[in-house]
Amino acid sequence: MHRSSRLLTACVTAAVMFSPVFARAVDDQKPAEKPAETTPAQSVTTQGTVNVGGQAIQYDAVAGIITVGATDPDDAELGSDGKPLPNSDLAARFAAAKSPDEAPPLAHMFYVAYFKHGADLEHRPVTFLYNGGPGSSTVWLHMGSFGPKRVDTDEMDTHLPAAPYRLTDNENSLLDVSDLVFIDMPGTGFGRLTGKDAGKAFWGINEDGHAFGRFIQRFLTQYNRWNSPKYIFGESYGTTRSAVLSNLLENNYNIDLNGVILLSQIFNFTTDIDGPDGNPGVDLPYELALPTYAATAMYHKKIPQQPLEPFLKQVEDFAMGDYAQALEKGTDLSQTDKQAIAEKLHEYIGLPVDYLMRGNLRISGGEFEHELQIDTDTTTGRLDTRFSGPSIDPLSQAAEYDPQSSAISSAYVSLFNQYVRNTLHYGEGQTYLPMANYPNFTWNFMQNGFPEMNVAPDIAMAMKTNPKLKIMVNGGYYDLATPFFAAQYEDKHLPIEQRLASNIQFDWYESGHMVYVRTSALKKLHDNVAEFIKSTEAGNQ
């Protein structure tokens, strides 16, 4: 697909900023008797304590591998140790394989789970969290959002200094209201794919959704959590996964969810602002990105300062009104009207009128990122447009990298590698893969025979078949990878009855794609998600 490389870059990173002014957690980590060495252990358990809202929460941290099959029948013939059950058809196929590369495909999925000590399992919620890509591990959410530890990146919008970085206790951990399970997608983290055509078996919209569904079933069995309130939390492409997964859990695996929590949502990829010129005649991407352009222009002082939210509402009305009507006219739009729209766009997003005219009033995300601060040869961020960095080539048409991703990725990857080995005592002698880096990594974007993806029907089906299912949508005003207004548009156009629309709530933040990058935004995100869980954990009343 024309947009896949920029989406992968966007969804892969997920960062966090932490203020050093946090209540210190009591760190009493204790390794298991036999920590993992050169081969993946089934699991390693340590203990710790974190302070959240003045409450000291003791927890067990379990790092391990759960193995799933490539099909439901294959998965049913795997034991809890990830090996084929004796005398099963799967065992016979393994025995007949001439080499490991000819064996049936399996995904050995890495996870880290945090369990509060002494909790009543039947009433204690459990939340499954994952990043996106597609192709990303969950290092970003794990080390940035709700885990007991968090990367300290200060309140900044420029590149971090190099190591040493600082890991801080997370007083906004979600452990105050839910147990947490951070899951790495097949082929990332310490997880590996094995067997014939394993990538083909697990790397795709539906294939991936089924893998996560099988993982969740196995997890619920292994930790006796079948009757616990259950939530899924996806970020970026993880929201795409959540749409597919919610439908599978509800309708294939007989698992009702209490809630689906979405962060930086994208369901319909025809609204993507990264490559709209590859889909001429579809102007929605330009309209839905306009409020994010406007917020960004004001942040970088390219337009006059004013209260943000009332201003964005004004931009939204223009985007879906005069601007949309002008674009709909295509070549029938008169030069006079085109000039008037360009001048209004200039007032809202700060780009020169002549540039907007030459762009036919249609500016892609990469072009906006390159041009907004071109007067200082500066490129604007994509994941978080508050970030900036030197332009690679001031004469290029579009941005050639993302300053936010470059600014924080080293801190996340470095500190996770230290934390998982020194604190969780897992992964010694192994390589952690933040991204799937197998040769020829490809993702099957086909769904129901169509090459362009729109998973809105999946989450709509989950909502219809479980009309008590609640959806929480979170997004950042400065996210140009998955603009907040696009998410709102998608959800207001789901194929559902109007009465089900009240099951969806929206929460927007003065942050970017990784809303939790700023301490203030993380605190608000924590409080909103915690309230959502509390209001739905007793059966979605």
**Span 84-103, pLDDT tens digits:** 999 999 999 999 999 999 99
Instruction: Please state the rounded mean pLDDT for residues 476-498.
Output: 97
Instruction: Please state the rounded mean pLDDT for residues 307-321.
Output: 98
pLDDT at residue 36, as a whole number: 34
Instruction: Please state the rounded mean pLDDT for residues 278-282.
Output: 90
Instruction: Please state the rounded mean pLDDT for residues 265-289.
Output: 93
Burial of 456: CB neighbours in 10 Å, binned 0-12, 13-18, 19+:
middle
Picking from 435, 355, 357, 441, the residue whose alpha carbon sits closest to that of residue 398 is 355
Q: Evaluate if residue 304 carries a pLDDT over 60.
A: yes
More confident residue, 143 or 35: 143
More confident residue, 17 or 31: 31
Domains of the chain, start order: 4-66+111-270+409-536 (3.40.50.1820), 71-104 (no CATH), 282-404 (no CATH)
pLDDT at residue 519, as a whole number: 87
Q: What would you report as the CA-atom Rg of the chain, rounded to the nearest whole angstrom?
A: 23
Q: Which of 29-38, 126-135, 250-259, 444-453 has the lowest mean pLDDT?
A: 29-38
Any idea of the CA torsion for 147, 234, 485, 472, to the nearest 10 degrees? -80
Instruction: Please state the rounded mean pLDDT for residues 445-472.
Output: 88
pLDDT at residue 1, as a whole number: 34
Instruction: Please state the rounded mean pLDDT for residues 500-505.
Output: 98
Instruction: Please state the rounded mean pLDDT for residues 435-446.
Output: 83
pLDDT at residue 99, as a whole number: 94
Beta-bridge partners for 373: 378
Burial of 120: CB neighbours in 10 Å, binned 0-12, 13-18, 19+:
exposed
Instruction: Please state the rounded mean pLDDT for residues 296-317.
Output: 97
pLDDT at residue 437, as a whole number: 79
Q: Evaluate if residue 35 carries a pLDDT over 80.
A: no
Q: Could you tell me if 426 and 35 are in contact, meaning their C-beta atoms sit under 8 angstroms apart?
A: yes
**Coil, strand or helix: which one is 351?**
coil
pLDDT, tens only, 203-233? 999 999 999 999 999 999 999 999 999 999 9
Beta-bridge partners for 379: 389
pLDDT at residue 2, as a whole number: 35
pLDDT at residue 28, as a whole number: 32
* Cα(288)–Cα(219) distance, integer angstroms: 38
pLDDT at residue 8, as a whole number: 41
pLDDT, tens only, 529-539? 999 999 998 86
* Cα(185)–Cα(209) distance, integer angstroms: 10
Q: Evaluate if residue 34 carries a pLDDT over 80.
A: no
Q: Evaluate if residue 27 carries a pLDDT over 70.
A: no
pLDDT, tens only, 343-385? 999 999 999 999 999 999 999 999 999 999 999 999 999 999 9
Q: Evaluate if residue 13 carries a pLDDT over 50.
A: no
Q: How confident is the model at residue 528 (pLDDT cuts 50, 70, 90)?
A: very high
Average pLDDT, the chain: 90
Instruction: Please state the rounded mean pLDDT for residues 55-76.
Output: 97
Q: How confident is the model at residue 447 (pLDDT cuts 50, 70, 90)?
A: low
pLDDT at residue 12, as a whole number: 38
**Coil, strand or helix: which one is 423?**
coil
Q: Could you tell me if 266 and 240 are in contact, meaning their C-beta atoms sit under 8 angstroms apart?
A: yes
Q: How confident is the model at residue 452 (pLDDT cuts 50, 70, 90)?
A: low
What is the percent of the chain where pLDDT is above 90? 83
Q: Which of 125-139, 140-154, 156-170, 182-196 has the lowest mean pLDDT?
A: 156-170
pLDDT, tens only, 375-406? 999 999 999 999 999 999 999 999 999 989 99
pLDDT at residue 517, as a whole number: 87
pLDDT, tens only, 235-259? 999 999 999 999 999 999 999 999 9
Q: For residue 265, what are its two tokens?
A: 């949502």
